[in-house]
């Protein structure tokens, strides 16, 4: 996975961003997650899970990490120093905690199996697409009118 992430970062990420732009490239990881979730729904085996998770994780560490940092480009310096730190530390960690709690509750209390988790992931990816659309829309607004963003932060 590390080698694939490295190769993607060196050879693919800049080209994807250049040709697709941030707005379209931002939907690549959710699309991979949707394909992976659907594949696990159909064939819930390690043979189906492993390549999908490797592709997801490599894309997350290379492309998605770059795109996530690019979202902060049109923001003010104050936003970068305050809000970015909160997002990069607290909110990312709370997402990890929520994910772990969901798995623990799903397995121990609800007795969910692989297909149930795959279906839940597909449903969560639908929410992810909606959130990604909202983020891209806000990014486009901030990029088009940086003066309004500066006035709002003041």
CA–CA distance, 66 with 59 (Å, rounded to integer): 10
Res. 1 pLDDT band, cuts 50 70 90: low
Res. 12 pLDDT band, cuts 50 70 90: confident
pLDDT at position 147: 65
- Token digits for 133? 């659309």
pTM flag (> 0.85): no
Mean local confidence (pLDDT), 18-46: 90
Q: Residue 10: pLDDT above 90?
A: no
CA–CA distance, 135 with 154 (Å, rounded to integer): 21
- Token digits for 15? 């080209």
pLDDT at position 125: 94
Res. 94 pLDDT band, cuts 50 70 90: very high
Domain boundaries along the sequence of the chain: 2-153
pLDDT at position 129: 95
């Amino acid at each position: 996975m590390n080698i694939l992430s490295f190769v993607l970062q060196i050879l693919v990420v800049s080209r994807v961003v250049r040709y697709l732009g941030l707005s379209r490239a931002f939907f690549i990881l959710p699309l991979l997650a949707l394909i992976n979730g659907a594949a696990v729904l159909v064939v819930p085996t390690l043979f189906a899970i492993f390549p999908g998770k490797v592709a997801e994780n490599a894309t997350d560490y290379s492309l998605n990490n770059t795109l996530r940092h690019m979202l902060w480009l049109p923001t003010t310096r104050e936003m970068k120093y305050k809000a970015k730190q909160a997002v990069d530390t607290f909110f990312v960690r709370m997402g990890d905690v929520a994910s772990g709690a969901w798995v623990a509750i799903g397995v121990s209390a609800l007795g969910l199996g692989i297909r149930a988790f795959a279906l839940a992931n597909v449903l969560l990816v639908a929410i992810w697409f909606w959130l990604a659309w909202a983020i891209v829309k806000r990014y486009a607004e901030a990029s088009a009118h940086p003066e309004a963003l500066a006035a709002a932060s003041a």
